[in-house]
Chains A and B, each alone.
Chain A
Amino acid sequence: MHSLIQLSIVVLLLPLLSFVILIFFNRRLPRRGDFLGVGILGTAFGISAYIFWSVIVQTYDPAFRIAWDFTWIDLGNVPGVGPLQIKMGVVIDNLTAIMLAMVTLISLLVHLYSTGYMAGDKNYGRYFAFLGIFTFSMLGIVLSDNFFAIYIFWELVGLSSYLLIGFFFEKQSAADAQKKAFLANRVGDIGMWLGILILYSQFHTFSFEQIYANLAAGKFALSHGWLTAAGILLFMGCVGKSAQFPLHVWLPDAMEGPTPVSALIHAATMVAAGVYFVARIFVLLTPDALHVIAFTGALTAFMAATIAITQNDIKRVLAYSTVSQLGYMVLGLGVGAYSAALFHLLTHAFFKACLFLGSGAIIHAMHHEQDMRWMGALRKKMPWTFATFTLATLALAGLPLTSGFMSKDAILAGAIGFAKVEGGGIYYLIPVLGFFSAMLTAFYMGRQIWLVFFGESRTHLKPADDQHQDHHAHAAHDAHADVHHEEHEVHEVAWNMRAPLVILAALSVFFVYSPDPLDGGKGWFMKMIPTPATVVGEANHQIGDLRAPVAAPALAAVVPAIEAPAAEAGKHGGAEKDAHSYADMRQAEIIHAGHAAHFTAIYISSIMVLLGISLAFVVYVFNIIDPEKTAIAIRPLYLFSLNKWYWDEIYDATFIKGSMLIANILSWFDTHIVDGIVNGVATLVRNFALLNDAFDRNVVDGMVNFTAFTINTTGAMLRKLQTGKVQTYIVMLLLAVFGYFVFYLTRLIY
């Protein structure tokens, strides 16, 4: 076993240890054991950082990959298959190393931050325990080398998300939100599970490596459509977890959880797991599946952005922003901009965590006021928060010199290239939506910054009944809740909450990733995470001829990035496919086109972003356009956005109500029809029995009784003879003798 593997397993198990200790002993430990959680995560981060350093910095090899597995379930010598084992294992490649470091870092920072944010909560210890199990599950997803393990941790992440969203379970809305989150995830999970099953049913293994090798070797016996279906179904897992359309509805509601949790789970890590998973399965996605993914991502990005511009809750804006950004990542994967999408995952994780933690700081300082309409003028009171929040906002909006700029542009460039390669037309919708969303992002983030940090303090504007309600809702968990909280001084948060903000903001700057602020492709990340070679070469024969592939020389020039993995795949699977299969060529083309579109994307996106920010300034700073009047002017659109495109209502009316209707119908069916039949049969049998009984009593018993009656009557008659007088008997005896005598004599005579 490689020492890195050993270390990674230690990293994986450390948060679990934290969970086990804290869930059982938090009440016996000083400070409810928060130092333990932070310490353990610190250790984990230290080890992860070492792994990151060894893999990325020292080795610096795009094809780096080590794996180790063990037999978890041994099914013995299965008839028809042979020896069959289900294995569990760990794989470390560049992506894993980066994710490992990212997850542990953000988790560590969130742990640290939470010691301030959650201080005084009555379930303080349990909170850290839950953070521990979440981190464990998330690391599990990152490290897994097979579908089964990833599914397990996938669900466990769902559980930790459930537990943490519902951390303030006394609140009805929190309880609703946690259930909604879990169920929405489950819907995605069944798709993912079916996808896994399709692959397993063909190869009898869950391992990524073996499945890809088998696919590359063309051993997939089912039709090509099944493979596309498998890809789309697996993507459904991502739809659930990464809150893509149409399962995005749970993520905004998940903001009911504590804000650090939102930062860790619902911004940086868990929701990114979906994207990470799609990246893991990227090689088996057929072009058709990729199209579905691309459109889903684009639609999600656009839809969430339109919703975000009208939300008033500071966290909800960020939540929809997260959905939108996740849409970008998914879009990126869909269009084949693999590296860019993952790059965005990483950069987004940091700046979005920073934003959430910043918003948490604001909420904390504002005593659990979340509505931006009642904020304002926090710039001076919370300078640290303001600075970091702004930096992260710039990254999110995608202004140059930030990390977000590089990654987002890489995605958009990929999208343009994709549209070009696919032949334009409707495919241009994807980059268009992407750019439009970029503008909206800039707008709503500008709006947020302005509403929160600039202008006048509007705390006093809040309607009284609203306040009361709000206060009541938070009273259960807010140790700091003060009846006169508007009079309370708003001040900067303590160091343990400030430090994470600073670190995360620092990680939102371009030079961390690339020396060239305009091109992420020159940075270490894009170099270390090359687009892997696809394993679905079969498409060559079906649709390859329909579109003219680009010339082979052009290909050779743009595919250095995919050469190494392709060679590796060939080594493993003994791939018979020709190196220039359609899917491969398509991928190479897209990468090539993406590179070509790089500067186009930069220009367009910069313009859009500036447009968006300007619009925000026009509306909120210069007040040239009155937002309220505009809202009235375009009221249907405004309401459409404010009500989140009515998805909740639609789902409630269809799926929830529908399910309940079916449930009630079936339950009625069960008690009245099925059980009714049973009882009916029982009644029938009983009635038959009654009939039978009547028959029995009147006919059968009647006959019996008749016999008895006859005998009785005869007996009664004979009884007269039974006088008890001996003489009577003698008379009869003698009569009999005489009778015999006469009989005898007659016999004698004749």
Chain B
Amino acid sequence: MEQLTTIGLNHYLTISAFLLGFGLFAVMTRKNAIVILMGVELILNAANINFLAFSKYNGGMEGVMFALFVIVIAAAEAAIALAIVINIYKIFKSVDVSSIDTLKE
């Protein structure tokens, strides 16, 4: 009970693990590119949670700063990714990544 009531590192790590798992699952299984992007955001968030959690219980500022940069880069990534998705849509008339298998050739 002590473990449950006293919020510690493990709680955050557990949440981040779930978020990571869901994010990975989305990236792996969903055909819609937008949803995949969402999965990626989930993964990033999971990472951020970890950074901050470790930073909190370590007392250093590194995790915080890292999380900050991750957010910034995630913003950039999201912008680029969406642009790409829109371009893909323009070319393939679809955002279904399973039909975009030109890599096979």
Contacts and interface: CB of A to CB of B under 8 A. Distances in A.
A727 B105 contact: no
Contact of B104 (A724, A730, A731, A734): A724
B98 interface: yes
A726 B97 contact: yes
A723 B100 CA distance: 10
A722 interface: yes
B28 A731 contact: yes
Interface in B59-105: 97-98, 100-105
A721 to B, nearest CB: 10
Interface string B20-41: 0000100111000000100000
A734 B26 CA distance: 13
Contacts of A722: 104
B91 to A, nearest CB: 15
What interface size band does chain B fall in?
Answer: 10 to 19
A175 to B, nearest CB: 87
A730 B102 contact: no
Contacts of B36: 727
Contact of A723 (B28, B29, B104): B104
Contact of A727 (B29, B102, B104): B29
Contacts of A723: 101, 104
A725 B100 CA distance: 7
A727 B101 contact: no
A724 B98 CA distance: 9
B105 A724 contact: yes
A727 B28 contact: yes
Contacts of B27: 727, 730
B103 A724 contact: yes
A607 to B, nearest CB: 128
Nearest to B24: A734
Interface string A554-574: 000000000000000000000
Contacts of B29: 727
Contact of A725 (B24, B97, B105): B97
B89 to A, nearest CB: 16
Contacts, number: 27
Interface in A701-750: 722-727, 730-731, 734
B97 A727 contact: yes
Contacts of B98: 725, 727
B28 A730 contact: yes
Nearest to B102: A724
Nearest to B30: A727
Contacts of A730: 27-28
A598 to B, nearest CB: 127
Contacts of B102: 724
Contacts of A734: 24, 28
Contacts of A724: 101-105
Nearest to A719: B104
Interface string A317-332: 0000000000000000
Interface in A79-118: none
- Give the interface centre of A722, A726, A731, A734 by most chain B CB atoms within 10 Å: A726
Contacts of A727: 27-29, 36, 97-98
A716 to B, nearest CB: 14
Nearest to A727: B28
A146 B103 CA distance: 102
A731 B97 CA distance: 14
B102 to A, nearest CB: 6
B28 A726 contact: no
- Give the interface centre of B24, B28, B97, B100 by most chain A CB atoms within 10 Å: B28
Nearest to A731: B28
A442 B98 CA distance: 133
Contacts of B24: 734
B28 A725 contact: no
B44 to A, nearest CB: 16
A724 B28 CA distance: 14
A731 B27 CA distance: 9
Contacts of B103: 724-726
Contacts of B28: 727, 730-731, 734
B35 to A, nearest CB: 11
A725 B105 CA distance: 11
A724 B105 CA distance: 7
Nearest to B27: A730
Interface in A664-722: 722
A731 B29 CA distance: 9
Nearest to B25: A734
- Give the interface centre of A723, A727, A734 by most chain B CB atoms within 10 Å: A727
B42 to A, nearest CB: 14
A562 B75 CA distance: 143
A207 to B, nearest CB: 99
Nearest to B36: A727
Contacts of B105: 724
Contacts of B100: 725
A730 to B, nearest CB: 6
A727 B104 CA distance: 12
A730 B30 CA distance: 12
A734 B102 CA distance: 22
A724 B102 CA distance: 6
B77 to A, nearest CB: 16
B29 to A, nearest CB: 7
Contacts of A726: 97, 103
A730 B98 CA distance: 13
Contacts of B101: 723-725
A390 B101 CA distance: 128
B33 to A, nearest CB: 10
Contacts of B104: 722-725
A726 B99 CA distance: 11
A722 B105 CA distance: 9
B84 to A, nearest CB: 12
A724 B103 CA distance: 4
A725 B33 CA distance: 12
A722 B102 CA distance: 11
A735 B26 CA distance: 15
B13 to A, nearest CB: 15
A723 B24 CA distance: 19
Contacts of A725: 97-98, 100-101, 103-104
A598 B91 CA distance: 141
A731 B26 CA distance: 11
A535 B74 CA distance: 130
- Give the interface centre of B24, B97, B103 by most chain A CB atoms within 10 Å: B103
A696 to B, nearest CB: 36
Nearest to B105: A724
A730 B24 CA distance: 9
A550 B24 CA distance: 143
Contacts of B97: 725-727
A730 B36 CA distance: 12
24 contacts: A722-B104, A723-B101, A724-B101, A724-B102, A724-B103, A724-B104, A724-B105, A725-B97, A725-B100, A725-B101, A725-B103, A726-B97, A726-B103, A727-B27, A727-B28, A727-B29, A727-B36, A727-B97, A727-B98, A730-B27, A730-B28, A731-B28, A734-B24, A734-B28
Given A724-B102, A725-B98, A727-B36, 16 more contacts: A722-B104, A723-B101, A724-B101, A724-B104, A724-B105, A725-B97, A725-B100, A725-B101, A726-B103, A727-B27, A727-B29, A730-B27, A730-B28, A731-B28, A734-B24, A734-B28
Which 10 A-B residue pairs are closest in the complex by CB-CB distance?
A724-B104, A724-B101, A724-B103, A725-B101, A731-B28, A725-B98, A730-B28, A727-B28, A723-B101, A730-B27
